[in-house]
Amino acid sequence: MTPVLFVLLPDTLLLDLAGPAEAFRLANRHLVVQGRAAAFDLRYVGALPEQTSSVGLGLRDLQPLPESLPPNCWLVLLGQTTAGLEASLSGRSPAWRVTREWLHQQWFSQDPSDAPHRLITVCSGSVLAGDAGLLGNCRCTTHHELLERLQALVPGADVVNNRVFVIDGPHANIATSAGVTAGIDLTLHLVAQACGEDIAAAVAQDMVVYLRRGPRDPELSPLLQHRNHLHPAVHRVQDAVNRQPQRPWTTKALADAAHVTQRHLLRLFTEHAGVSPSAYVEIIRLEHARRALAGGASVGQAAEVAGFSADLQLRRAWSRRWGGTPVDARRRRSS
């Protein structure tokens, strides 16, 4: 399991904590339901054993800041209220000073031979990371009201505005988000990377939130398109196709996955997903083929992995959706 350490300070924004923590918890639940091992070990640490959140709710029984980080640790730094952040940056918060020094020591004492830790920030958590010297020359972001402050604090960083989240760092291990619900977007993105798109989609459905494609693109990923609905039968089909795109998905097989008749499935897909079942299968297969090509596969290998019956079927589907050919796409990436 990946240790996920939520680092808490006085006046922590409760949603910055609860949103990502619930997403990780739900991911574990869906993994177990599938017969897989839970992926995330959630821990809550702080310089003080008891703290008060932004809404006045007490946060108790926090573990102390560990003397050393567990291997392959994910550190999550959360935002504070405006008053809490001002107290921290003005030097009036001993907890901030202790946490800042601890972060700096832990981050830069990593053994280069070990897998690098991952830094995740929500809202003004990036300001704490910057104050601790963790951002360096990275591309990063934060809440829109704090962009100038973060840039002044870390002059060498490339502070990006108008981004839900940004992932950078020497090992793509520094992930910063704009704040509050953007922390959920970032967590869903990381869950998709670690556990699969189907798990991230299931978590998003539970939390009734939209899924974003990634740190640069406001569009939905092709693997996550047509999923902003709540119909369980349609989600069952979409989960099944995401997990096994190479399966021969006849209309009957799709209807069986949904536990409805073929005619009823067509009506449900059109009403809730805005696309036909067969069109959805093609969208998913094309994205799997695109990813296979990006990983160095040949057109034939990509077609097989994605579930197309032959190279020609992949080429025709590619031309209908994107224009050009898969070979053209490979050439553009290599140039």
Q: 179 by DSSP, 3-state: which?
A: coil
* 125: alpha, beta or left? (left if phi > 0; alpha if psi -120 to 50): alpha
Compute the average pLDDT of residues 294-315. 91
Residue 216 lies in a domain: no
Whether 245 has a pLDDT exceeding 50, the answer reads yes
- Residue 213 bridge partners (DSSP): none
Shared-domain flag, residues 192 and 230: no
CA–CA gap between residue 173 and residue 149 (Å, rounded) = 23
332: which 2 tokens? Answer: 């553009």
pLDDT at residue 7 is higher than 70: yes
Note whether residue 181 is domain-resident: yes
Q: 326-334 and 311-322 are packed helices; what angle lies between their axes, rounded to 10 degrees?
A: 70
Q: Give start and end residues of each alpha helix (H) in the chain.
A: 14-33, 82-89, 94-108, 125-131, 147-153, 181-195, 197-207, 232-243, 251-258, 262-268, 277-294, 299-306, 311-322, 326-334
Of 198, 213, 241, which closes a domain? 198
Model confidence over 308-331: pLDDT tens digits? 999 999 999 999 988 888 887 666
- With respect to residue 267, please indicate whether it lies within any of the assigned structural domains: yes
User: Which residues, 6+ apart, have CB-to-CB distance to 120 below 8 Å?
Assistant: 20, 74, 75, 76, 77, 175, 176, 177, 186, 187, 190
Q: Which of 36-40, 236-240, 296-300 has the highest mean pLDDT?
A: 36-40
For residues 95 and 234, give the distance between their C-alpha atoms in angstroms, rounded to a whole number.
48
Q: What is the pLDDT of residue 331?
A: 67
- Residues 277, 313, single domain; the answer is yes
Claim to verify: residue 163 and residue 296 sit in the same structural domain: no
**What pLDDT does residue 322 have?**
84
Q: Are residues 274 and 179 in the same domain?
A: no
The reply to whether 18 and 119 lie within a common domain is yes
Token pair listed for 333: 């990436």
- Domain hosting 299: range is 222-335
- What's the farthest any 2 CA atoms get from each other in the chain? 67
Tell me, yes or no, whether 178 lies in a domain: yes
- Same-domain check for residues 248 and 180: no
pLDDT in tens, 189-213: 999 999 988 898 889 888 877 655 4
Q: How confident is the model at residue 45 (pLDDT cuts 50, 70, 90)?
A: very high
Query: Does residue 203 form part of some domain?
Result: no
- Sequence-distant contacts of 88-92: CB under 8 A, at least 24 apart: 88/9, 88/128, 89/127, 89/131
pLDDT confidence of residue 333: 53
- Based on the fold, state whether residues 51 and 128 are members of the same structural domain: yes
pLDDT digits (tens, 9 = 90+) for 130-158: 999 999 999 999 998 999 999 999 999 99
Report CA 294 to chain centroid distance, whole Å: 20
Q: Which two tokens stand for residue 165?
A: 């989240």
19 and 155 part of one domain: yes
CA 221 to chain centre: 12
- Please provide the DSSP assignment of 205-238 as one string: HHHT------SS--SPPTTTTT--S--HHHHHHH
Residue 285 shares a structural domain with residue 167 = no
Q: State how far the Cα of 39 lies from the Cα of 195, in Å rounded to an integer.
A: 8
The number of domains in the chain is 2
Domain with 100 in it: what CATH number? Answer: 3.40.50.880
Q: Does residue 209 lie in a domain region? A: no
> What is the rounded average pLDDT of the residues 269-276?
94
